[in-house]
Amino acid sequence: MVYDIVMEPNPMLHRRSEDVDVQKISTKEMQKFIKDMVETMYVKDGVGLASVQVGKPLQLCVIAKNYNSLNNHEDLCLINPTWTKLSIRKAWDEEGCLSVPGVYGKVKRYLKIKVKAFDKNGEPLEFVAEDFFARIIQHEVDHLNGHLFIEKAKDLHKIKKEL
C-alpha cells in the first residue's frame, strides 16, 4: 500500500512523534506498516521517509538501500532512533523533502554521527554513519522530532518538476 505524503503546513509535522513500543515491532500490523513505508518511499522517489510523513507520528523512519552504508542490499528501518555527533565538522549541502515538494535549500549537518535505534526486527542497533548517510539520518530524525529542513536551511529556492 502506498501512502499519501503529509504536506507542510500540517501541524503534525511540527510535533515530536511518539516512541514505538518495542514489544509491538514484531506484530503483523507493524511489519506491514514498515513494508508499506518502504514501498511509499520508492514510489514517491525519496531516499528516506519518516512515519509522520505518512500520517503516523511514530519514532520510525526508513532509508533506501542504495544509501544504507551498513548493508546496501537492504533497506534500513530505524525505530526510536537517536544520534550523537562524532565529529565537530559540519558541511553545507542541498536538501529537499517529500513534505515540502519543489523546495530545496542548503542545510549544515554533522559529517559523522553515532546512531542508536531498534531495527525492523526489534533488535538493538548501534552504528556510525558518515557523509550522505549521516545527512539522511539527521534529516529523518529531525522529522521525528517535529522539525523540517526549511527551518534551518539557507538559500531556499523552488524547482519545478519537469513533466
For 75-132, how does the pLDDT look when each residue is reduced to its tens digit (9 = 90+)? 999 999 999 999 999 999 999 999 999 999 999 999 999 999 999 999 999 999 999 9
Asked whether residue 147 is marked as a ligand-binding residue, the answer is: no
Nearest 10 degrees: Cα torsion 82, 69, 90, 86: 50
Task: Identify the active-site residue in 123, 130, 140, 151.
Answer: 140
73 is annotated as contributing to ligand binding: no
Angstrom distance (rounded) from CA 152 to CA 15: 16
Res. 162: pLDDT tops 90: no
Place of cell 509522520: 52
Q: What helix, strand, coil percent values describe the chain, rounded to 5?
A: 30, 30, 40
Model pLDDT for residues 32-80, shown as the tens digit of each residue? 999 999 999 999 999 999 999 999 999 999 999 988 888 878 999 999 9
- Report the b/e string of 107-144 with b at 16+ CB within 10 A: bebbbebebebbbbeeeebeeebeeebbbbbbbbbbbb
User: Please, are residues 61 and 83 in contact by the beta-carbon 8 Å criterion?
Assistant: no
CA distance 86 to 102: 32
- Rounded to the nearest 5 degrees, what angle is found at the Cα of 133, between the Cα atoms of 143 and 63? 55
- Is residue 97 part of an annotated ligand binding site? yes
Among this protein's residues, is 140 annotated catalytic? Answer: yes
The model carries a pTM of 0.96
- Which domains are delineated in the chain? 11-82+116-148 (3.90.45.10)
